[in-house]
Amino acid sequence: MIKSFIKNSRLFLSDHLSLYLFFALTIALQVWVALLHPNGQAILSDLLIPECYLIAIITCLLAYRWQKKRRSALRLLNESELETVRAEVANSSQEKLLTELLQKVLHEKRALSDQQQEENQQLKDYYALWAHQIKVPLSVLDLMNQTGTVDQRQTKEQLFLVNQYLDMLLSFIRLQDISSDLVFKSQSAKELVLRVVKEYKVFFIEKDLSLSLGDSDFDLVTDSKWLTFVLEQVIYNAIKYTKVGGLTINCTTDQKIIIQDRGIGIDKADLPQIFNQGYTGFNGRVEDNASGLGLYLVKEILDKLGHSIQIDSEIGQGTTVTIDCRQKTLR
């Protein structure tokens, strides 16, 4: 108790040192003046007694306010999560300014914490959807293994899907810090399209779908790895939702990649929401193996690359996806 009192007294005097130095200097001057006067002792006594009372009263008031603010500050320090700073810890204009500054820091901290929680929730939601999606090819492979009806072609297809879903997962993770992963250089649009088409030729053959690739071509400045991922998602969706007929792909001279299919199409009510994360729409519910992640990633990546995408569709008539590769503002 005594040690605590001595410690607090030292801290109090340290915080108000300038005030008590002023008091000491004032008393020293009064003593000097009193010594020069014939009735100095009487004058000094008349001056010092009320001054001592005044100093004692001021000290008590200052000590009370100082101890009150100190206790409030100590309570705040003991809180596990600081949400706000109470008004009693600030009296002077400078202290109030510092309190406002601390409130601003706390607000920014809360905003950052909310953002991190939102990103963590997005990751959890994505992992849940991804786990559901990858179970489909794994279940097919497991069923073939259990029944002893392992088909080389089907095995190759399912392993290809597993690899695609893994690429999707890695792309989603890298998307959080895509800026450090971008490498822009001039590319041939048609070469990128051909590369993707060759990867998916097994699905064209399996579903007996035709492919018409236009003769025109153009060069664009982009990141080939990320744009290839976009083309993979769009072309695979076109194959998945096309039962008969085929796909038509054109690389137009005005720097657009247009992918058309004769598939089941997309409901008009779904079109405004198809780029939302986790949104599957009517087609996704019918297929029961859509995650609502592919087009979300497509839109996010194209925004980062400075490109844009437009999807037009009619039920039963097919879908047209237009990727505008003209360089726009990077996001």
**Per-residue pLDDT at 290 exceeds 70:** no
| CA separation for the pair 69, 74 (Å, rounded) | 9
pTM: 0.60
Predicted pLDDT at 286: 44
Q: Give the Cβ contact number of residue 200 at 10 Å.
A: 20
Task: Catalogue the E-assigned strands of the chain.
Answer: 185-188, 210-213, 219-222, 246-252, 256-261, 308-314, 318-324
Instruction: Report the pLDDT averaged over residues 103-132.
Output: 76
**Per-residue pLDDT at 50 exceeds 50:** yes
Widest CA span in the chain: 124
Instruction: Report the pLDDT averaged over residues 52-63.
Output: 85
**Per-residue pLDDT at 278 exceeds 70:** no
